[in-house]
Chain A
Amino acid sequence: MRDHLNTIRKDPLLLVLWLALICFAVIWIAPFAFIVFTSLKGNGEIMSTGPFALPTELRPDNYDVAWNRGGFSRSFFNSVFVSAVKVPLGIALSAIAAYALAKMPGRFNRLVFLLIVFGTMIPFQVMLAPIFTLVNKMGLVDSYAGLILPYLAFGVPFQVFILHSFFRGVPKELSEAALIDGAGHFTIFRRIFLPISLPILAALFILDFVATWNEFAMALVIMQDQSKWTLPLGLMSFQGQFSNEYGQLNAAIVITVLPAVLVYLIFQRYFVSGLAAGAVKG
């Protein structure tokens, strides 16, 4: 604290800067406050009191009603299930592929790598209809596999890209010594590369979890059946049906958003390092 005071004394402009940042932060956080307050109010109070007035009569039952009406226990489970399968599986596929591209000599490595990097930039939102047609042809509409496979396909490029550049930075000596000792590539990958890349894998894991948890457009076309909806679809449909039940609608927003927020708050540092890794290399 004294350090801060000292710097401020040396540089009064810093104080102005600090205040400006605080003001900005208040604006940035205001929507959250508004949503949480609304989620605890009854409709009558919402229509009669100011937006930032604290709820006079707490209505926690908004959450209960929204949870049941929106079938959120089902969509919550689906979101958890899809993320729990997709995220580890995707990272495993990417890590193995990235290792091969970085450390195993292969004739087509360069071409494959280029194709994959190309994929990091292509928006899948453009291809929702053909993806739907394809998944439908395979008979996988409304199935977890039908959603997870395209998720994998569009998650692989970014992860391979990041891991590839990380693996390439690992000194040759490390793996060559093991190769001479007679270890195969899979052993080297598992024994040497996996342990040293744990921090970056953790970062990718968290980023991918949030992306999967939040994904909407693909799920919208693949999961037609309400029993297979993920949380974003549940929220959208809830808004469609109950847009005049303001308290419950905002409770539904909190329900959808909270898990990602918690994950973020707990694993904050990985987010930053993961993004930074992408940025510096990207």
Chain B
Amino acid sequence: MSALFRKMEDRPWLFLAPAVIVYAVFALWPMVDVTIVSFQKWNGLDANRQFVGLANYQYIFLQDPVFWTAFINTVIWTFLSLIFPPAIGLALAIGLNREIAGRSALRAVFYLPVIIAPIAVATMWRWMYDPFFGLFAQTLTEWGLPVPDFLGQKDTALYYVFVAYVWQQVGFSMVLFLAGLQSVDRSLVEAAQIDGAGRWKIFRHVTVPAIMPTITIVLVLSLIHSLKAFDIVYGLTGGGPAQSTQMLALWAFSQSMKAFDFGRGGAVSVVLLVITVAIVIPYLRWSMSREVHE
């Protein structure tokens, strides 16, 4: 018995099996299945899924009244996610990288929203955006300003949702940048100061090159994260008003799980999956090559 155990003990696949099986069944297979179902028509009720070729893709690209809204919203959202949370996070990190009073308390404050459930963030902000009694409505009324229908106006709702997202995400970028700033060589900064270089010059020529890898990582993570935006939109607007805040992930979910059109929902999923993979593969190559160089 113990001899057998000794023998088994050196088989790598035994160590790998539990994790790999769970991963393959519940993460990789659904990816395959969603691709299959995107070529089928299925309402979740019938026993048979009927093969329909490219009909679902043709539908979402040409006829679906919401797909392109969701697509453009996802692009806008991703673009904004690459700018605001990282930029504010970097600014905060640079500020908090100095020896100042209350540094760790301040860091805790900015990071706190990150650990809150996105759905709770959505519930909080939905209440703050209440057009009659919410935080913003009351403040604006006190100042004698008109109160907009924050989440009810088609052309601006997405941006108000995004503000809540920024509030939550900034701390994440900040912590990564704080870690990255540790790799800035102090002696280089001091040498530059002695040479009479200004703050901007030091930042531009010493800090930025040193944190370049961190910047890349933060941008990639922000991007991946933004494609996942689901909870916060679901909780704040549910995609409304009139589907104007729909995003690809949420639209795929709504088509499949609310309207029970698994084929069309699957096609939307595949589009998002292809976009993600197109971004992920080059990044993985880059980070793998970095690892080899190390």
B27 and A134 contacting across the interface, CB-CB below 8 Å: no
B45 lies within 8 A of chain A by Cβ: no
Residues of chain B from 86 to 125 with CB closer than 8 A to chain A in the complex: 92, 95-96, 98-102, 106, 108-113, 115-120, 123-125
Residues of chain B from 1 to 52 with CB closer than 8 A to chain A in the complex: 5-6, 9-10, 12-13, 15-16, 18-20, 22-23, 25-31, 33-34, 37, 44
Binary interface profile of B, 213-226, with partner A (CB < 8 Å = 1, else 0)?
Answer: 01001100100100
How many Å from the CB of B169 to the closest CB on chain A? 12
* A122 to B92 Cα, complex, angstroms: 29
- With A18-B100, A279-B214 as contacts: A184 and B124 at CB distance below 8 Å: no
A109 contact set on B, CB distance < 8 A: 12
- With A4-B100, A126-B269, A217-B253 as contacts: A119 and B12 at CB distance below 8 Å: no
A93 and B115 contacting across the interface, CB-CB below 8 Å: no
A117 lies within 8 A of chain B by Cβ: yes
- With A185-B9, A239-B126, A282-B217 as contacts: A17 and B111 at CB distance below 8 Å: no
B115 contact set on A, CB distance < 8 A: 210, 214, 260-261, 263-264, 271
How many Å from the CB of B94 to the closest CB on chain A? 9
The dominant DSSP class at the A interface is helix
A50 and B116 contacting across the interface, CB-CB below 8 Å: no
* A152 to B265 Cα, complex, angstroms: 24
A156 contact set on B, CB distance < 8 A: 19, 22-23, 27
Interface segment out of the listed A57-65, A170-178, A196-204, A249-257: A249-257
* A157 to B31 Cα, complex, angstroms: 15
Residues of chain A from 224 to 269 with CB closer than 8 A to chain B in the complex: 231-232, 235-236, 239, 246, 249-250, 252-253, 256-257, 260-261, 263-265, 268
* A239 to B117 Cα, complex, angstroms: 15
B148 lies within 8 A of chain A by Cβ: no
B269 and A127 contacting across the interface, CB-CB below 8 Å: yes
Smallest CB gap from B25: residue in A? A153
A46 contact set on B, CB distance < 8 A: 133
- With A1-B101, A115-B28, A261-B112 as contacts: A185 and B15 at CB distance below 8 Å: yes
* A216 to B116 Cα, complex, angstroms: 12
Smallest CB gap from B31: residue in A? A127
B113 contact set on A, CB distance < 8 A: 28
What is the interface of chain B, defined by CB distance below 8 A to chain A? 5-6, 9-10, 12-13, 15-16, 18-20, 22-23, 25-31, 33-34, 37, 44, 92, 95-96, 98-102, 106, 108-113, 115-120, 123-128, 130, 132-135, 138-139, 142, 167, 172, 175-176, 178-180, 214, 217-218, 221, 224, 227-228, 230-231, 234-235, 249, 252-253, 256-257, 262, 265-266, 269, 272-273, 276-277, 280, 283-284, 287
What is the interface of chain A, defined by CB distance below 8 A to chain B? 1, 3-4, 7, 14, 17-18, 20-22, 24-25, 28-32, 34-35, 38, 46-47, 50-51, 93-94, 96-97, 99-101, 104-106, 109, 112, 114-119, 121-134, 149-150, 152-154, 156-157, 160, 184-187, 210, 213-217, 221, 231-232, 235-236, 239, 246, 249-250, 252-253, 256-257, 260-261, 263-265, 268, 271-272, 275-276, 279-280, 282
